Structures are given as structure tokens and as C-alpha cells.
Amino acid sequence: MFDLITDLARYNDLMISGSLETLYMVAMSLFFAIVGGIPLGVLTTITRENHIIPNKPLNFVLDGIINIGRSIPFIILMVAVIPFTRMIVGTSIGTNAAVVPLSLAAIPFMGRVTDNAILEIEHGVIESAQSMGASPLQIVFKVLLPESLPAIILGLTLTAISLVSYSAMAGAVGGGGLGDIAIRYGYQRFQLAIMLETIVILVVMVQLIQFFGNKIASFFDHR
Amino acid sequence: MIKIENLTKHYHAAQGKVEAINGLNLEVDDGEIFGMIGPSGAGKSTLIRMLNLLEQPTSGTININGTDLTELSSQNLRAARQKIGMIFQHFNLLSSRTVLGNVAFPLEIAGVAKKERIAKAKELIELVGLSDRADHYPAQLSGGQKQRVGIARALANDPDLLLSDEATSSLDPESTKSVLELLAKIRDEMNLTIILITHEMGVIKDICDRVAVLEAGQIIEEGSILDIFARPKQTLTKKFISSVIDFDLPERIIKYVKAERPGELIRISFVGEKTHDPYISDLVKHYSVDANILYGNIDEIQGVPFGTLVLDLEGQLTNIEESINYLQSQDLRVEVLDNV
């Protein structure tokens, strides 16, 4: 017991920097998920049959991108995109390098979440906007996004939590963060205390993300 | 004026080709409240949704104040739609916006400046009697209040035409009444044309000037409310009317009709001023028949009295015939009841 506590005290700085690295990876890739995934999801929905700008070929392609992106296991995606990561970041090691595959996984995930959120909107509401003479662009920004905002925020929460777990995987191949620490110290050096502490930190992180996600979503939810 | 010519809507469904609307012609005058009634599946909803092209017609023209909607580019159609308000059975309000935000929404779409649209929206919210609810979200309102928001929203861009797609069908009787009164009021105050569809004859009876009865994608009967109520021709029309006005004779009279009797049993329907004229005393005086009143019923349609009377006429056969002719010549609807 005493050993455990001295171990933890000794590695305090390591744990703090590991946590910050994890948060950095999650925040960066969440940013790209918002920038890339939400437009991808919106475009997928509105090009569906019977939606505001039906376009079968485009919908087929976008839907395919989302499905393919979502069907590749993250650990494989991470390795497969190494050349692409090198091209963008200049290296395939470190937190910045890990952001590339994390974003590539998060974008289609967020795309599907957005697609589902927008599909929840009753068709009548969209029709009423059309009956007022709203253009497709106005419908997207004044109807679809505001109406699905609570669901999109919950989807972002879900994405963020997936990213926490993916970032731990990225750590295993040199991405840094809590996953890296858990593997190197907890697993390879048999330091049980470190392993346990990373788990506790990850659990707390996920709880907090979910808690604030729910709070923000219900703030915007007037249904 | 709205002029619909040869309007057809066919579509393909799992069950094969569906002919929702079949060569329909219709004219609606400015300032009129025009009702369309029909059973479910008659094509009412398809029809009203074609009037602002939410539904694309297969063929035919929809002419509103001289513009054929079917020929407009999508940009011009959007501009035309701003002048056609629409209200819906399920209200279709934006749950993310307050009452004020919902009413201001069409103005935002039309590009009206913020200050102006808030002023206009407040004015409309007052018109529909919801000033104390302007900051509420739709989820906090009752059905009747939601529909009032829907109406205020539909009026935001000062439309010439208001389309009502079963607007009262999901409301309780009291809210229905107040929403209908509101519609009649805005028609009078803003002089706009209202076209509504419904499956409730009560709605037609309460506010429509004219009505068309729809069956299987076609208008089977059309006319002013009083005409239709006084002289319905089609069985379906009669059925709708009997849902709001008691046409069925009581059991006692049906028994009497079936029994052996000397005279002739007739039913007279009369409308408006005719209720004031002394026909029965005329009959008795001039045609030497005895008239025995078996059953009577007076209702009112938009303030005009409307009634039915069942008479048992006794006397010589020729006298009875002559008296029936006399009544018919007075523009009353007379039916001889042989069997009921």
C-alpha cells in the first residue's frame, strides 16, 4: 500500500502531462469532427430522397464515406494512414500525429450522428419552412441546425467519449497521453498503481464530458 | 382570384399507380372562405399542398392572381410562396424558437430587418391574442394556442391567400371554435382568401362561404353553403350534412311512414327568409288539404335559419299533388317520404 502511494506521488507530473496530452488530442480531433463531420452529416441528410435537395449519386457517395470510415477499426486506421499523417504533420509519432487518425475516425462518426439528429426533425416543420419560401440554405441554417442542436450536442458528447478511448489506443503506438503511460508504466513495468490511476482519470474524464454534454444539450432543448 | 384548371396528380406507390387528383377545375374568388371536404383518401391533402407547390402537379395549372405557379422558376416560386400562408394540422412550429421567434421566422426568410420583423411579429401575436405568451416556447402552449401561433406566422408576410390543411383536426371542440372564429375575423379584417380542407362538416358549416365535396380525386358537388345544405345532391354530401344537422327522422316517424295511412307524408327543407313565410296555412286555405306537423327542426348556418319539417297531408289525391307542386314552385325542397 505504501509503495503504491509513493509511486503515485513520484509520477504526479507524468500523470498531469499525460492527462493534458489526452485532453489536447480529444479537443483537437473534436474540433475537426465539428468542422468536417457536421457539414458531412448535413449534406448526407439533405441529399436523401424526399429531403430538401435530393441527389441520389451525391448521397450514395457521402453515405459510403461515412460507412467506410466507420467500419475500419481504429487501430488499423491509425497504422494505415501513417503516410498521410507524415505528409501533414511531418512525423507519425506524438500527440499532433495522433490527431490525424483520430480526426479521420471522428469525422464520419460525427457525420452519422448529425445525419441521425437531423432526420429526427419532423418533416412537417421542414415543409412549413418551404411553404414560407425558405431556400435550402435558409432551411439548413434556420431550421435543421437549430432544431437538431440538442441532439447534435449529445452526439458531440458521444464522439468526445469515443475519442478519449481512441486516444488511449493512439498512445500505445507513440501518440502520448494517458494510454501511452498506462502501457509503458502500468503494463510493461508492472506498476499497478500507475495503471489504476490512468483508469481512474479516464473514468472521471468520461463522466465529466457526459455530465456537461447533458447539461448543455438540455439548455438548448425546448421540446 | 384563384383558378385551377385540369389539375392532375398521379404518383407511383407500392400498390401501383395512384390517381390522387383527376382533372380538377376550381375557381375561388378573392376574400372568400372556400372549404373542401371529403373522406380520407379523397385527395384533399394532395390538392391543398399543390396550391403552393409543396406537391408538384402531374399536369394542369394553378393560377393565383394571374400567375401560373407551375411555370415559375424555383426562385420566383419562393417569392410567390411568401404571399401564400399555410397552417397545418400538427402546427409545425419550430421547437427551438419562442412564439415571437416563430412568428418572426417568415419575415426573416423574406429578409425583413430585425427591428421591423419584431414589431410586425408583436402586432400579429396581439391579433391572435397571445401577447402574454410571446416568450414561451411551443412546448409550453396548448394545441389551440399553437395553432394561433401558426396563424400569426402564416400572416407575417401579408399573404393574399391562406391555406389551411386540417388546421382544427387535432384540436378539442372549444379550441376549434375559437380558431375558426379567428380565421373568420382575419378574413374580414385583412381581406384575404382562405382555402381550407377538412373532414369535419362543422368547420364548413361554421365559416365557409362555399364548399366543394371531394371524392376519389374529383369534385363531385360544389356550391354556396346554404345551397349545399338546402339541396344536397350526392349521397356523400348528404352524409356529411347529416353529421352536423339532424336529417334522420325519429323512429316514431319512420314507423308512421311504413304504416298504412290515407294521406301523403312529405319533408320540406327551407332556408333563410322562407322560414318566415306562412306556407302551411296557405296550403290548408288554398288546396283543401289538412296538414299535420309530425316533426320539425330549425338550425342556423352562419346566422341564416335552416329547417326541416315533416308534414302529413290528408285530403283528395289531386289536392295533395297540387299542394306539393305549389310548395316546389316556392323553391322549397320537397321530398315525398314513401320509405325511409
Per-domain boundaries in chain B? 2-233, 251-336
For the purposes of burial, counting CB atoms within 10 Å of the CB of B318, is it exposed (0-12), middle (13-18) or buried (19 or more)? exposed
pLDDT of residue A169: 85
Single out the residue of A180, A176, A167 nearest to residue A206, CA to CA. Answer: A167
pLDDT over 70 at A176, yes or no: yes
ipTM above 0.95, yes or no: no
In DSSP terms, B311 is beta-bridged to B266, B293
* Number of helices followed by number of strands (H, E) in chain B: 12, 14
pLDDT over 70 at A142, yes or no: yes
Task: Classify strands B193-198 and B33-37 as parallel, antiparallel or unpaired.
Answer: parallel
How far CA A33 is from CA of A25, A75, A158, A162, A216, in Å, comes to 12, 18, 12, 12, 18
Length of chain A counted residue by residue: 223
> B98 or B261: whose pLDDT is higher?
B98
Q: Is the separation of the CB atoms in A107 and A33 below 8 Å?
A: yes
Least confident of A24-28, B38-42, B305-309: B305-309
| Cα separation, B284 vs A146, whole angstroms | 74
| Cα separation, B20 vs B214, whole angstroms | 11
Q: Which of A128, A143, A219, A221 has the most B C-beta neighbours within 10 Å, making it the best mutation to test the interface with B?
A: A128
Q: Which of A127, A133, A138 sits opposite B92 (nearest CB)?
A: A127
Dihedral in degrees, nearest 10, Cα atoms B161, B165, B166, B171: -80
Q: Is the separation of the CB atoms in A125 and A147 below 8 Å?
A: yes
Single out the residue of B60, B66, B98, B82 nearest to residue B1, CA to CA. Answer: B66
DSSP annotation of B54 reads S
What is the topology classification, in CATH, of domain A2-220? MetI-like fold (1.10.3720)
pLDDT of residue B322: 87
| Cα separation, A134 vs B330, whole angstroms | 55
Q: Which of A128, A133, A134 sits opposite B92 (nearest CB)?
A: A128
C-alpha distance from A53 to closest chain B C-alpha (Å):
12
pLDDT of residue A215: 96
Average pLDDT over residues B203-225: 94
pLDDT of residue B128: 95
- Cβ distance of B94 and A143 shorter than 8 Å: yes
| Cα separation, A132 vs B80, whole angstroms | 9
Single out the residue of B239, B302, B303 nearest to residue B37, CA to CA. Answer: B239
> A187 or B80: whose pLDDT is higher?
B80
pLDDT over 90 at B226, yes or no: no
> A42 or B269: whose pLDDT is higher?
A42
Query: Which chain A residue's Cα is nearest to B153?
Result: A132
Average pLDDT over residues B192-207: 94
Query: Which chain A residue's Cα is nearest to B85?
Result: A132
| Cα separation, B168 vs B161, whole angstroms | 18
Q: Is the separation of the CB atoms in B140 and B102 below 8 Å?
A: no
Chain pair A-B, CB pairs under 8 angstroms: 65
| Cα separation, B191 vs B194, whole angstroms | 9
Q: Which residues of B touch A133 (CB under 8 A)?
A: 77-82, 106, 109-110
Q: Is the separation of the CB atoms in B193 and B3 below 8 Å?
A: no
Least confident of B91-95, B134-138, B245-249, B318-322: B245-249
Single out the residue of B335, B331, B269 nearest to residue B296, CA to CA. Answer: B269
For the stretch B314-327, pLDDT in tens is: 888 888 888 888 88
Least confident of A37-41, A94-98, B57-61: A94-98
Domain B251-336 indexed as CATH 3.30.70.260: yes
CATH of B2-233, one of 2.60.40.420, 3.40.50.10330, 3.40.50.150, 3.40.50.300: 3.40.50.300
CA atoms within 13 A on the CB side of A47: 15
* Amino acid letter, B163: L
pLDDT of residue A5: 67
pLDDT of residue B88: 96
Can you list the alpha helix ranges (DSSP code H) found in B51-142? 74-81, 99-109, 114-127
pLDDT of residue B6: 94
Contacts of B81 (CB under 8 A, 6+ apart): A130, A131, A132, A133, B52, B53
pLDDT of residue A2: 57
| Cα separation, A200 vs A186, whole angstroms | 13
Q: Across all residues in chain A, what is the average pLDDT?
A: 91
> A187 or B29: whose pLDDT is higher?
B29
pLDDT over 90 at A156, yes or no: yes
Q: Which of A131, A141, A142, A144 has the most B C-beta neighbours within 10 Å, making it the best mutation to test the interface with B?
A: A131
| Cα separation, B290 vs B79, whole angstroms | 67
C-alpha distance from A192 to closest chain B C-alpha (Å):
49
> B53 or A175: whose pLDDT is higher?
B53
Can you list the alpha helix ranges (DSSP code H) found in B208-290? 225-230, 235-242, 251-258, 279-287
- Which pLDDT band holds residue B72 (cuts at 50, 70, 90)? very high
* Amino acid letter, B127: L
pLDDT of residue B339: 57
Least confident of A82-86, A155-159, A193-197, B92-96: A193-197
> B160 or B309: whose pLDDT is higher?
B160
pLDDT of residue A120: 94
pLDDT of residue B314: 85
pLDDT of residue B34: 97
pTM, two decimals, is 0.87
- Quickly tell me which residue has 507530473 as its cell: A13
For the stretch B141-158, pLDDT in tens is: 999 999 999 999 999 999
For the purposes of burial, counting CB atoms within 10 Å of the CB of A223, is it exposed (0-12), middle (13-18) or buried (19 or more)? exposed
Q: What angle do CA B38, B180, B133 make, to 5 degrees?
A: 130
> B80 or B251: whose pLDDT is higher?
B80
pLDDT of residue A4: 64
C-alpha grid cell for residue B103? 412568428
Average pLDDT over residues A42-63: 96
> B278 or B123: whose pLDDT is higher?
B123
pLDDT of residue B49: 95
C-alpha distance from A205 to closest chain B C-alpha (Å):
30
Can you list the alpha helix ranges (DSSP code H) found in A50-188? 56-71, 74-80, 82-89, 95-119, 123-131, 136-139, 145-170, 177-181
* Number of helices followed by number of strands (H, E) in chain A: 12, 0
Average pLDDT over residues A22-49: 96
- Which pLDDT band holds residue B114 (cuts at 50, 70, 90)? very high
- Cβ distance of B137 and A125 shorter than 8 Å: no
Q: Which of B54, B86, B96 sits opposite A222 (nearest CB)?
A: B96
| Cα separation, B212 vs B219, whole angstroms | 6
Contacts of B318 (CB under 8 A, 6+ apart): none
pLDDT of residue B245: 79
pLDDT of residue B276: 67
For the stretch A57-101, pLDDT in tens is: 999 999 999 999 999 999 899 889 999 999 998 888 888 999 999
